[in-house]
Amino acid sequence: MSGAREARGMPTVECDPAAARERLEAAGVAVTDGNTEHERWRAERGDAVAVAYGDKVVVQGSRPTDLVALLQDGGGRAHVYFDGAARGNPGPAAVGWAIVTSDGIVAKGGERIGRATNNRAEYEALIRALEVARDYGFDEVDVRGDSELIVKQVRGEYDTNDPDLRERRVRARELLAGFDRWSIAHVPREINEVADDLANEALDDE
């Protein structure tokens, strides 16, 4: 798998820009010449813009995963951390997530999701994290969260009578089934600190 890391908040994919350009064009993405002598080419898709340099491609925009998955060869394993936060139950809520490989944090994010319960926020965070891991093309994911309830529901150890949560559990299981191998486990909050901080920062942002 070609390497990916996050630089100054923007994912950077270490790859062969010529091969990456071919993958983008094969997927129907318009690729144009760079704006400066240092840029080999530029591509846009959705809310993402990719700029190729010597041996890497930097992706900008609010949803970089719109392009990152196409830039990489695919494959590999990642640890996926998720956390949801709600102030009040229900109340203003947000999600946080981080995708981590042996190279470090590949991607991370946090966003408000409106009004929700704590458990719904946790599920929304899990779903968002799994969507990002899928878009990055990982084959295997080890998912970690500090909500023991959500982890045990997804593993099938606990049931839920809440139709709203049941629907989200189904979605999470569908996403997990798309990976060649997956695991999900409960971890203490201090192990989940990055995702926890991102969810709370999103809540703090006005």
Helices and strands in the chain: count of H runs, count of E runs = 6, 11
The sign of the CA dihedral 23, 68, 29, 37 is: negative
The sign of the CA dihedral 181, 101, 56, 15 is: negative
Q: Note the pLDDT of residue 22.
A: 87
Tokens of 48: 């993402």
For the cut 80, the answer to whether the pLDDT of residue 9 exceeds it is: no
Q: How many CB atoms lie within 10 A of CB 62?
A: 10
- pLDDT mean over 84-102: 93
Q: Note the pLDDT of residue 75.
A: 66
What whole-number distance in Å separates Cα of residue 16 and Cα of residue 28? 19
Q: Note the pLDDT of residue 1.
A: 41
Q: 77-204, what's its fold?
A: Nucleotidyltransferase; domain 5 (3.30.420)
For the cut 70, the answer to whether the pLDDT of residue 106 exceeds it is: yes
For the cut 90, the answer to whether the pLDDT of residue 43 exceeds it is: yes
- C-alpha distances (whole Å) from 3 to each of 21, 40, 123, 165 are 16, 19, 29, 35
Domain ranges of the chain: 3-71, 77-204
Query: So what's the architecture of 3-71 in CATH?
Result: 2-Layer Sandwich (3.30)
Tokens of 8: 């100054």
Q: Note the pLDDT of residue 2.
A: 44
For the ranges 2-16, 50-64, 101-115, the lowest mean pLDDT is seen at 2-16
Q: Note the pLDDT of residue 5.
A: 47
What whole-number distance in Å separates Cα of residue 176 and Cα of residue 194? 22
User: How do residues 152-173 score in pLDDT, each as one tens digit?
Assistant: 999 999 999 999 999 999 999 9
For the cut 90, the answer to whether the pLDDT of residue 145 exceeds it is: yes
- pLDDT mean over 127-142: 90
Residue 110, amino acid: G
Q: Note the pLDDT of residue 143.
A: 98
Confidence tier at 62 by pLDDT (50, 70, 90):
confident
Burial of 168 (0-12, 13-18, 19+ CB in 10 A): buried
Tokens of 178: 């798309």
Residue 15 or 173, more confident: 173
Confidence tier at 66 by pLDDT (50, 70, 90):
low
pTM of the model: 0.72
Percent of the chain with pLDDT over 70: 91
